[in-house]
Chain A
Amino acid sequence: MSNKTELSVSAIKEGTVIDHIPANCLFKVISILGLDNCDNLITFGTNLGSNRYGKKAIIKVADKSFEKEDLNRIALVAPDARLNIIRDYEVVEKKFVTVPQEIIGIAKCFNPKCITNNETIITKFTLVNSNVMALKCHYCEKVTTEEHLKIL
Protein backbone atom coordinates (compact mmCIF):
# COMPACT_ATOMS: atom_id res chain seq x y z
CA MET A 1 0.00 0.00 0.00
CA SER A 2 1.31 3.44 -0.88
CA ASN A 3 2.07 6.09 1.73
CA LYS A 4 -1.24 7.83 2.10
CA THR A 5 -1.56 9.47 5.48
CA GLU A 6 -5.29 9.27 5.93
CA LEU A 7 -8.20 8.23 3.79
CA SER A 8 -11.70 9.61 4.32
CA VAL A 9 -13.11 6.38 3.02
CA SER A 10 -11.20 3.23 3.88
CA ALA A 11 -9.21 1.51 1.21
CA ILE A 12 -10.41 -1.71 -0.38
CA LYS A 13 -8.23 -4.65 -1.24
CA GLU A 14 -9.96 -5.63 -4.49
CA GLY A 15 -12.67 -3.91 -6.45
CA THR A 16 -13.64 -0.61 -8.06
CA VAL A 17 -13.40 2.96 -6.80
CA ILE A 18 -15.64 5.53 -8.46
CA ASP A 19 -14.21 8.96 -7.79
CA HIS A 20 -15.10 12.56 -8.77
CA ILE A 21 -18.83 12.13 -8.52
CA PRO A 22 -20.59 15.48 -7.94
CA ALA A 23 -21.68 15.27 -4.28
CA ASN A 24 -25.34 15.93 -5.05
CA CYS A 25 -25.42 13.02 -7.51
CA LEU A 26 -24.08 10.32 -5.20
CA PHE A 27 -27.40 8.63 -4.61
CA LYS A 28 -28.34 8.84 -8.29
CA VAL A 29 -25.13 7.03 -9.16
CA ILE A 30 -25.86 4.40 -6.51
CA SER A 31 -29.31 3.92 -7.96
CA ILE A 32 -28.19 3.83 -11.63
CA LEU A 33 -25.61 1.16 -10.87
CA GLY A 34 -28.07 -0.77 -8.72
CA LEU A 35 -25.73 -0.61 -5.72
CA ASP A 36 -28.72 -0.28 -3.41
CA ASN A 37 -29.42 -3.94 -4.18
CA CYS A 38 -25.86 -5.19 -4.17
CA ASP A 39 -24.51 -7.62 -1.56
CA ASN A 40 -20.86 -6.58 -1.84
CA LEU A 41 -19.11 -4.47 0.76
CA ILE A 42 -19.65 -0.85 -0.27
CA THR A 43 -18.26 2.24 1.43
CA PHE A 44 -18.84 5.77 0.31
CA GLY A 45 -18.11 9.29 1.33
CA THR A 46 -19.71 12.50 0.24
CA ASN A 47 -19.15 16.25 0.58
CA LEU A 48 -15.41 15.63 0.37
CA GLY A 49 -13.21 18.48 -0.81
CA SER A 50 -12.50 18.57 -4.53
CA ASN A 51 -10.69 21.06 -6.73
CA ARG A 52 -13.06 20.24 -9.52
CA TYR A 53 -16.49 20.51 -7.89
CA GLY A 54 -16.06 22.09 -4.52
CA LYS A 55 -17.67 18.96 -3.12
CA LYS A 56 -17.40 15.48 -4.46
CA ALA A 57 -18.44 11.99 -3.54
CA ILE A 58 -16.59 8.69 -3.80
CA ILE A 59 -17.84 5.11 -3.83
CA LYS A 60 -15.74 2.01 -3.18
CA VAL A 61 -17.21 -1.33 -4.13
CA ALA A 62 -15.24 -4.35 -2.96
CA ASP A 63 -14.75 -7.44 -5.12
CA LYS A 64 -16.68 -6.12 -8.06
CA SER A 65 -15.89 -5.01 -11.57
CA PHE A 66 -18.42 -3.32 -13.82
CA GLU A 67 -19.22 -3.71 -17.48
CA LYS A 68 -18.25 -0.67 -19.54
CA GLU A 69 -21.85 -0.12 -20.66
CA ASP A 70 -23.04 -0.10 -17.05
CA LEU A 71 -20.46 2.45 -16.05
CA ASN A 72 -21.22 4.69 -18.98
CA ARG A 73 -24.78 4.92 -17.72
CA ILE A 74 -23.54 7.15 -14.92
CA ALA A 75 -21.96 9.58 -17.40
CA LEU A 76 -25.22 11.50 -17.61
CA VAL A 77 -25.00 12.56 -13.95
CA ALA A 78 -21.27 12.25 -13.34
CA PRO A 79 -19.54 13.01 -16.65
CA ASP A 80 -16.16 13.54 -14.97
CA ALA A 81 -16.26 10.38 -12.89
CA ARG A 82 -13.02 8.43 -12.71
CA LEU A 83 -12.83 4.72 -12.12
CA ASN A 84 -9.93 3.10 -10.40
CA ILE A 85 -9.62 -0.65 -10.60
CA ILE A 86 -8.00 -1.94 -7.43
CA ARG A 87 -5.94 -5.13 -7.05
CA ASP A 88 -4.29 -5.80 -3.71
CA TYR A 89 -4.77 -2.18 -2.58
CA GLU A 90 -3.08 -0.80 -5.71
CA VAL A 91 -4.68 1.07 -8.59
CA VAL A 92 -4.00 -1.13 -11.60
CA GLU A 93 -6.17 0.68 -14.12
CA LYS A 94 -7.86 4.07 -14.47
CA LYS A 95 -10.89 4.61 -16.66
CA PHE A 96 -13.10 7.51 -17.66
CA VAL A 97 -16.78 7.40 -18.49
CA THR A 98 -18.22 8.53 -21.79
CA VAL A 99 -21.83 9.42 -22.50
CA PRO A 100 -23.22 6.59 -24.65
CA GLN A 101 -24.67 7.36 -28.11
CA GLU A 102 -27.90 5.70 -27.09
CA ILE A 103 -29.34 6.15 -23.64
CA ILE A 104 -32.02 3.71 -22.58
CA GLY A 105 -34.11 4.00 -19.45
CA ILE A 106 -32.11 6.53 -17.41
CA ALA A 107 -33.22 10.00 -18.43
CA LYS A 108 -36.66 11.52 -18.45
CA CYS A 109 -37.97 13.42 -21.49
CA PHE A 110 -38.62 17.05 -20.56
CA ASN A 111 -41.67 17.26 -22.84
CA PRO A 112 -44.81 16.81 -20.70
CA LYS A 113 -46.78 15.86 -23.83
CA CYS A 114 -44.37 13.04 -24.70
CA ILE A 115 -45.97 9.59 -24.63
CA THR A 116 -43.16 8.38 -22.31
CA ASN A 117 -44.42 10.76 -19.61
CA ASN A 118 -47.95 9.46 -19.94
CA GLU A 119 -47.60 5.69 -20.18
CA THR A 120 -45.21 3.18 -18.67
CA ILE A 121 -42.54 3.20 -21.37
CA ILE A 122 -38.78 2.78 -21.12
CA THR A 123 -37.30 6.03 -22.42
CA LYS A 124 -34.79 6.04 -25.25
CA PHE A 125 -32.59 8.89 -26.43
CA THR A 126 -29.81 9.48 -28.87
CA LEU A 127 -26.98 11.84 -28.02
CA VAL A 128 -27.05 14.74 -30.50
CA ASN A 129 -24.38 16.86 -28.81
CA SER A 130 -22.12 15.56 -26.05
CA ASN A 131 -20.61 18.98 -25.27
CA VAL A 132 -23.89 20.39 -24.03
CA MET A 133 -25.49 17.01 -23.27
CA ALA A 134 -28.37 17.29 -25.72
CA LEU A 135 -30.52 14.17 -25.90
CA LYS A 136 -33.09 13.59 -28.62
CA CYS A 137 -36.12 11.56 -27.58
CA HIS A 138 -36.68 8.51 -29.79
CA TYR A 139 -40.45 8.99 -29.40
CA CYS A 140 -41.43 12.68 -29.46
CA GLU A 141 -38.20 13.79 -31.26
CA LYS A 142 -37.77 16.75 -28.86
CA VAL A 143 -34.29 17.53 -27.55
CA THR A 144 -33.76 17.54 -23.77
CA THR A 145 -30.74 19.64 -22.78
CA GLU A 146 -28.65 19.39 -19.62
CA GLU A 147 -30.53 22.15 -17.77
CA HIS A 148 -33.81 20.22 -18.14
CA LEU A 149 -32.33 16.78 -17.68
CA LYS A 150 -33.92 14.66 -14.97
CA ILE A 151 -32.76 11.18 -14.08
CA LEU A 152 -35.44 8.56 -13.54
Chain B
Amino acid sequence: MKNRSLVSINDFTKEEILKIVELAKEFEANPNRDLLKNKVVASLFFEPSTRTRLSFETAINRLGGRVVGFTDASSSSTTKGETLKDTIKMVSNYADLIVMRHPLEGSARYASEQSNVPIVNAGDGANQHPTQTLLDLYSILKTQGTLENLNIFMVGDLKYGRTVHSLLQALSHFNPVFNFISPEELRMPDEYKFWLDSKGIKYYEHSEFTDILSRADILYMTRVQQERFVDPIEYEKVKNVYILNNAMLDNTKDNLRVLHPLPRVNEINEDVDENPKAYYFEQAENGVYARMAIMASILGLV
Protein backbone atom coordinates (compact mmCIF):
# COMPACT_ATOMS: atom_id res chain seq x y z
CA MET B 1 0.00 0.00 0.00
CA LYS B 2 3.04 2.25 -0.24
CA ASN B 3 2.23 5.62 -1.83
CA ARG B 4 -1.43 4.69 -2.19
CA SER B 5 -4.12 7.01 -0.93
CA LEU B 6 -6.71 5.75 1.55
CA VAL B 7 -9.99 7.22 0.33
CA SER B 8 -12.54 4.46 0.92
CA ILE B 9 -12.43 1.31 3.05
CA ASN B 10 -13.20 -0.59 -0.16
CA ASP B 11 -9.78 0.42 -1.50
CA PHE B 12 -8.17 -2.08 0.91
CA THR B 13 -8.30 -5.84 0.58
CA LYS B 14 -8.91 -8.18 3.48
CA GLU B 15 -5.16 -8.85 3.74
CA GLU B 16 -4.36 -5.14 3.78
CA ILE B 17 -6.97 -4.50 6.46
CA LEU B 18 -5.48 -7.30 8.58
CA LYS B 19 -1.99 -5.93 8.08
CA ILE B 20 -3.07 -2.49 9.36
CA VAL B 21 -4.79 -3.85 12.48
CA GLU B 22 -1.82 -6.10 13.27
CA LEU B 23 0.49 -3.11 12.91
CA ALA B 24 -1.76 -1.04 15.17
CA LYS B 25 -1.13 -3.67 17.85
CA GLU B 26 2.63 -3.19 17.47
CA PHE B 27 2.30 0.57 17.71
CA GLU B 28 0.23 0.24 20.85
CA ALA B 29 2.94 -1.87 22.44
CA ASN B 30 5.62 0.59 21.38
CA PRO B 31 3.99 3.93 20.57
CA ASN B 32 6.93 6.31 20.47
CA ARG B 33 8.93 5.59 17.36
CA ASP B 34 10.69 8.08 15.14
CA LEU B 35 9.49 6.62 11.85
CA LEU B 36 8.18 9.96 10.60
CA LYS B 37 11.32 11.88 11.54
CA ASN B 38 12.04 14.55 8.90
CA LYS B 39 8.60 14.03 7.36
CA VAL B 40 5.98 16.75 7.09
CA VAL B 41 2.31 15.80 7.18
CA ALA B 42 -0.32 18.32 6.07
CA SER B 43 -3.47 18.22 8.15
CA LEU B 44 -6.18 19.99 6.11
CA PHE B 45 -9.46 20.27 8.01
CA PHE B 46 -11.95 22.12 5.82
CA GLU B 47 -14.49 21.58 8.58
CA PRO B 48 -13.75 21.25 12.28
CA SER B 49 -13.47 17.79 13.82
CA THR B 50 -11.60 18.00 17.07
CA ARG B 51 -11.47 14.32 17.90
CA THR B 52 -10.29 13.12 14.50
CA ARG B 53 -7.77 15.94 14.12
CA LEU B 54 -6.24 15.47 17.57
CA SER B 55 -6.05 11.73 17.01
CA PHE B 56 -4.16 12.19 13.73
CA GLU B 57 -1.90 14.89 15.11
CA THR B 58 -1.10 12.79 18.18
CA ALA B 59 -0.26 9.87 15.90
CA ILE B 60 2.04 12.07 13.79
CA ASN B 61 3.76 13.52 16.86
CA ARG B 62 4.28 10.11 18.45
CA LEU B 63 5.95 9.02 15.22
CA GLY B 64 8.25 12.03 15.35
CA GLY B 65 6.77 13.77 12.30
CA ARG B 66 5.81 17.41 11.91
CA VAL B 67 2.40 18.83 11.12
CA VAL B 68 1.35 21.81 9.02
CA GLY B 69 -2.20 22.75 8.15
CA PHE B 70 -5.41 24.39 9.25
CA THR B 71 -8.24 23.41 11.55
CA ASP B 72 -11.20 24.83 9.66
CA ALA B 73 -11.86 26.37 6.27
CA SER B 74 -12.07 29.92 7.63
CA SER B 75 -8.32 29.95 8.23
CA SER B 76 -7.48 28.66 4.75
CA SER B 77 -7.58 30.41 1.38
CA THR B 78 -10.84 28.58 0.62
CA THR B 79 -12.54 31.70 1.99
CA LYS B 80 -10.82 33.69 -0.77
CA GLY B 81 -12.37 31.37 -3.34
CA GLU B 82 -9.48 28.99 -3.92
CA THR B 83 -10.60 25.68 -5.36
CA LEU B 84 -9.86 22.37 -3.65
CA LYS B 85 -7.76 21.44 -6.67
CA ASP B 86 -5.47 24.44 -6.26
CA THR B 87 -5.10 23.93 -2.50
CA ILE B 88 -4.17 20.28 -3.02
CA LYS B 89 -1.77 21.02 -5.91
CA MET B 90 0.03 23.51 -3.69
CA VAL B 91 0.11 21.52 -0.46
CA SER B 92 1.20 18.32 -2.19
CA ASN B 93 4.36 20.17 -3.19
CA TYR B 94 5.05 20.98 0.45
CA ALA B 95 4.19 17.85 2.41
CA ASP B 96 4.95 14.11 2.28
CA LEU B 97 1.38 13.08 3.11
CA ILE B 98 -1.96 14.87 3.29
CA VAL B 99 -4.65 14.13 5.87
CA MET B 100 -7.88 15.75 4.74
CA ARG B 101 -11.33 16.32 6.20
CA HIS B 102 -13.82 17.99 3.86
CA PRO B 103 -17.61 18.56 4.00
CA LEU B 104 -18.22 17.59 0.35
CA GLU B 105 -18.67 13.95 -0.69
CA GLY B 106 -16.11 12.67 -3.17
CA SER B 107 -13.64 15.42 -2.26
CA ALA B 108 -11.09 12.88 -1.03
CA ARG B 109 -11.16 10.83 -4.25
CA TYR B 110 -10.78 14.01 -6.27
CA ALA B 111 -7.93 15.24 -4.06
CA SER B 112 -6.14 11.89 -4.49
CA GLU B 113 -6.29 12.39 -8.27
CA GLN B 114 -4.82 15.88 -8.04
CA SER B 115 -2.13 15.22 -5.46
CA ASN B 116 1.50 14.13 -5.96
CA VAL B 117 1.52 12.61 -2.46
CA PRO B 118 -0.89 10.13 -0.84
CA ILE B 119 -4.15 11.40 0.69
CA VAL B 120 -5.65 9.94 3.85
CA ASN B 121 -9.37 10.64 3.94
CA ALA B 122 -10.36 11.84 7.42
CA GLY B 123 -14.02 12.07 6.39
CA ASP B 124 -15.65 13.39 3.20
CA GLY B 125 -19.17 14.53 4.09
CA ALA B 126 -21.52 11.61 4.64
CA ASN B 127 -19.48 9.38 2.32
CA GLN B 128 -16.43 7.65 3.81
CA HIS B 129 -14.31 7.77 6.96
CA PRO B 130 -11.99 4.77 6.50
CA THR B 131 -9.64 5.47 9.41
CA GLN B 132 -12.66 5.29 11.76
CA THR B 133 -13.47 1.89 10.26
CA LEU B 134 -9.94 0.63 10.75
CA LEU B 135 -9.88 1.75 14.38
CA ASP B 136 -13.27 0.08 14.89
CA LEU B 137 -11.85 -3.15 13.44
CA TYR B 138 -8.79 -2.88 15.66
CA SER B 139 -11.04 -2.38 18.68
CA ILE B 140 -13.07 -5.44 17.73
CA LEU B 141 -9.97 -7.56 17.17
CA LYS B 142 -8.44 -6.43 20.45
CA THR B 143 -11.54 -7.20 22.53
CA GLN B 144 -12.66 -10.38 20.77
CA GLY B 145 -9.31 -11.86 19.78
CA THR B 146 -10.64 -12.35 16.23
CA LEU B 147 -12.63 -10.62 13.51
CA GLU B 148 -14.17 -13.87 12.28
CA ASN B 149 -17.71 -15.20 12.92
CA LEU B 150 -18.88 -12.44 15.25
CA ASN B 151 -22.45 -11.38 16.02
CA ILE B 152 -22.51 -7.62 15.46
CA PHE B 153 -25.37 -5.43 16.66
CA MET B 154 -25.71 -1.97 15.14
CA VAL B 155 -28.08 0.46 16.84
CA GLY B 156 -29.52 3.89 16.08
CA ASP B 157 -29.20 5.83 12.84
CA LEU B 158 -28.41 3.10 10.33
CA LYS B 159 -29.63 5.13 7.37
CA TYR B 160 -27.28 8.09 7.39
CA GLY B 161 -24.51 6.78 9.64
CA ARG B 162 -21.44 6.45 7.43
CA THR B 163 -19.51 4.66 10.18
CA VAL B 164 -21.95 1.75 10.24
CA HIS B 165 -21.95 1.46 6.45
CA SER B 166 -18.18 1.34 6.17
CA LEU B 167 -17.87 -1.03 9.13
CA LEU B 168 -20.50 -3.32 7.61
CA GLN B 169 -18.55 -3.45 4.34
CA ALA B 170 -15.22 -4.10 6.05
CA LEU B 171 -16.61 -6.79 8.38
CA SER B 172 -18.19 -8.63 5.48
CA HIS B 173 -14.75 -10.15 4.81
CA PHE B 174 -15.02 -12.01 8.12
CA ASN B 175 -18.28 -14.00 8.02
CA PRO B 176 -20.32 -11.98 10.54
CA VAL B 177 -23.99 -12.07 11.51
CA PHE B 178 -25.60 -8.63 11.76
CA ASN B 179 -28.50 -7.45 13.88
CA PHE B 180 -29.81 -3.98 13.07
CA ILE B 181 -31.85 -2.06 15.64
CA SER B 182 -33.30 1.24 14.42
CA PRO B 183 -36.48 3.29 14.05
CA GLU B 184 -38.41 2.68 10.84
CA GLU B 185 -37.24 6.03 9.40
CA LEU B 186 -33.57 5.22 9.93
CA ARG B 187 -33.36 1.60 8.79
CA MET B 188 -30.35 0.20 6.97
CA PRO B 189 -30.70 1.28 3.31
CA ASP B 190 -31.65 -1.36 0.75
CA GLU B 191 -28.38 -1.02 -1.17
CA TYR B 192 -26.45 -2.37 1.83
CA LYS B 193 -28.97 -5.14 2.46
CA PHE B 194 -28.80 -6.22 -1.20
CA TRP B 195 -25.06 -6.17 -0.92
CA LEU B 196 -25.14 -8.41 2.19
CA ASP B 197 -27.55 -10.73 0.35
CA SER B 198 -25.14 -10.97 -2.55
CA LYS B 199 -22.38 -12.02 -0.15
CA GLY B 200 -24.61 -14.52 1.63
CA ILE B 201 -24.27 -12.71 4.97
CA LYS B 202 -27.15 -13.09 7.43
CA TYR B 203 -28.79 -10.03 8.98
CA TYR B 204 -31.88 -9.40 11.10
CA GLU B 205 -33.76 -6.15 11.58
CA HIS B 206 -35.44 -5.04 14.81
CA SER B 207 -37.25 -1.91 15.86
CA GLU B 208 -36.25 -2.11 19.53
CA PHE B 209 -33.91 -3.79 21.99
CA THR B 210 -35.02 -7.28 22.97
CA ASP B 211 -33.48 -10.18 24.88
CA ILE B 212 -31.75 -11.15 21.63
CA LEU B 213 -29.03 -8.79 22.88
CA SER B 214 -27.81 -11.78 24.93
CA ARG B 215 -26.24 -13.13 21.71
CA ALA B 216 -24.22 -10.04 20.84
CA ASP B 217 -20.43 -9.93 20.69
CA ILE B 218 -20.27 -6.28 19.67
CA LEU B 219 -22.89 -3.61 20.32
CA TYR B 220 -22.14 -0.67 18.03
CA MET B 221 -24.17 2.35 19.15
CA THR B 222 -24.76 5.51 17.08
CA ARG B 223 -26.51 8.77 17.68
CA VAL B 224 -30.11 9.28 16.55
CA GLN B 225 -30.03 12.90 15.42
CA GLN B 226 -33.15 15.04 15.62
CA GLU B 227 -32.37 16.80 12.33
CA ARG B 228 -32.78 13.48 10.47
CA PHE B 229 -36.53 13.49 11.16
CA VAL B 230 -39.01 15.33 8.97
CA ASP B 231 -41.64 15.16 11.69
CA PRO B 232 -40.44 16.25 15.17
CA ILE B 233 -43.20 14.18 16.78
CA GLU B 234 -41.69 11.04 15.26
CA TYR B 235 -38.36 11.95 16.84
CA GLU B 236 -39.96 12.42 20.26
CA LYS B 237 -41.56 8.96 19.93
CA VAL B 238 -38.36 7.11 19.12
CA LYS B 239 -35.62 9.05 20.84
CA ASN B 240 -35.82 7.13 24.09
CA VAL B 241 -36.20 3.69 22.52
CA TYR B 242 -32.53 3.54 21.56
CA ILE B 243 -30.94 4.47 24.86
CA LEU B 244 -28.70 1.88 26.40
CA ASN B 245 -28.55 1.68 30.20
CA ASN B 246 -26.50 -0.51 32.49
CA ALA B 247 -29.32 -2.88 33.48
CA MET B 248 -29.80 -3.86 29.83
CA LEU B 249 -26.32 -5.39 29.82
CA ASP B 250 -27.15 -7.80 32.68
CA ASN B 251 -27.78 -10.93 30.66
CA THR B 252 -25.26 -10.31 27.93
CA LYS B 253 -22.15 -12.33 27.06
CA ASP B 254 -18.96 -11.72 29.02
CA ASN B 255 -17.05 -10.88 25.86
CA LEU B 256 -19.62 -8.27 24.76
CA ARG B 257 -18.18 -4.80 24.24
CA VAL B 258 -20.10 -1.59 23.64
CA LEU B 259 -18.62 0.62 20.91
CA HIS B 260 -19.60 4.14 19.82
CA PRO B 261 -17.80 6.42 17.35
CA LEU B 262 -18.45 9.39 19.70
CA PRO B 263 -19.53 12.04 20.43
CA ARG B 264 -22.47 10.57 22.29
CA VAL B 265 -25.37 12.65 23.48
CA ASN B 266 -27.77 10.56 25.55
CA GLU B 267 -27.92 7.24 23.70
CA ILE B 268 -25.60 5.56 26.19
CA ASN B 269 -26.59 6.29 29.75
CA GLU B 270 -23.64 7.40 31.89
CA ASP B 271 -24.23 4.47 34.24
CA VAL B 272 -22.82 2.24 31.49
CA ASP B 273 -19.44 4.02 31.61
CA GLU B 274 -18.28 2.08 34.68
CA ASN B 275 -19.32 -1.29 33.25
CA PRO B 276 -16.29 -3.27 32.02
CA LYS B 277 -18.23 -3.93 28.82
CA ALA B 278 -18.13 -0.21 27.96
CA TYR B 279 -15.32 0.25 25.49
CA TYR B 280 -15.94 3.55 23.68
CA PHE B 281 -13.20 5.58 25.37
CA GLU B 282 -10.56 2.89 24.74
CA GLN B 283 -11.91 2.70 21.20
CA ALA B 284 -11.06 6.39 20.73
CA GLU B 285 -7.56 5.74 22.06
CA ASN B 286 -7.15 2.88 19.59
CA GLY B 287 -7.67 5.49 16.87
CA VAL B 288 -4.21 6.88 17.51
CA TYR B 289 -2.53 3.46 17.00
CA ALA B 290 -4.64 2.66 13.94
CA ARG B 291 -3.71 6.01 12.38
CA MET B 292 -0.03 5.46 13.17
CA ALA B 293 -0.27 2.12 11.38
CA ILE B 294 -2.06 3.66 8.38
CA MET B 295 0.37 6.55 7.90
CA ALA B 296 3.48 4.43 8.41
CA SER B 297 2.20 1.85 5.91
CA ILE B 298 1.29 4.41 3.26
CA LEU B 299 4.67 6.11 3.58
CA GLY B 300 6.33 2.71 3.24
CA LEU B 301 8.11 3.00 6.59
CA VAL B 302 7.14 -0.38 8.06
Contact = CB atoms under 8 A, between A and B. Distances in A.
Interface in B159-191: 191
A4 B36 CA distance: 78
Residues of A contacting B: mostly: loop
Nearest to A117: B104
A138 to B, nearest CB: 7
Nearest to A134: B191
Interface string A114-152: 111011110000000000000001111111000000000
B8 A141 contact: yes
Contacts of B102: 115
Contacts, number: 49
Interface stretch (B105-113, B146-154, B222-230, B250-258): B105-113
Interface string A7-41: 00000000000000000000000000000000000
B128 interface: yes
A47 interface: no
A142 B162 CA distance: 12
Contacts of A111: 105
A141 B83 contact: no
A114 B105 contact: yes
B105 A113 contact: yes
A139 to B, nearest CB: 3
Contacts of A137: 106
Nearest to B86: A119
B102 to A, nearest CB: 8
Nearest to B105: A140
B106 A116 contact: yes
A119 B125 contact: no
A138 B109 CA distance: 8
Nearest to B114: A121
A113 B8 contact: no
Given A119-B85, A140-B125, A140-B127, A114 B191 contact: no
A34 to B, nearest CB: 26
B84 interface: yes
Task: Give the residue among B103, B106, B126, B128 with the most A Cβ atoms within 10 A.
Answer: B106
Contacts of B109: 115, 138-139
B105 to A, nearest CB: 4
Contacts of A114: 104-106
A116 B102 CA distance: 14
Contacts of B110: 115-116, 119, 121, 139
A113 B104 contact: yes
A117 B22 CA distance: 39
B191 A115 contact: no
Contacts of B128: 141
Interface in B245-285: none
Given A114-B104, A115-B106, A141 B127 contact: yes
Q: Rank and list the top 7 A-B pairs by shortest CB-CB distance, nearest first.
A: A139-B106, A140-B105, A140-B106, A115-B106, A115-B107, A115-B104, A139-B109
Interface of A: 109, 111, 113-116, 118-121, 137-143
14 contacts: A109-B106, A113-B104, A115-B104, A115-B105, A115-B107, A115-B109, A119-B85, A120-B83, A138-B109, A139-B107, A141-B127, A141-B128, A142-B105, A143-B191
Given A113-B105, A116-B106, A119-B83, 16 more contacts: A113-B126, A114-B104, A115-B102, A115-B109, A115-B124, A116-B110, A119-B85, A119-B110, A121-B110, A137-B106, A138-B106, A139-B109, A139-B110, A140-B106, A140-B125, A141-B127
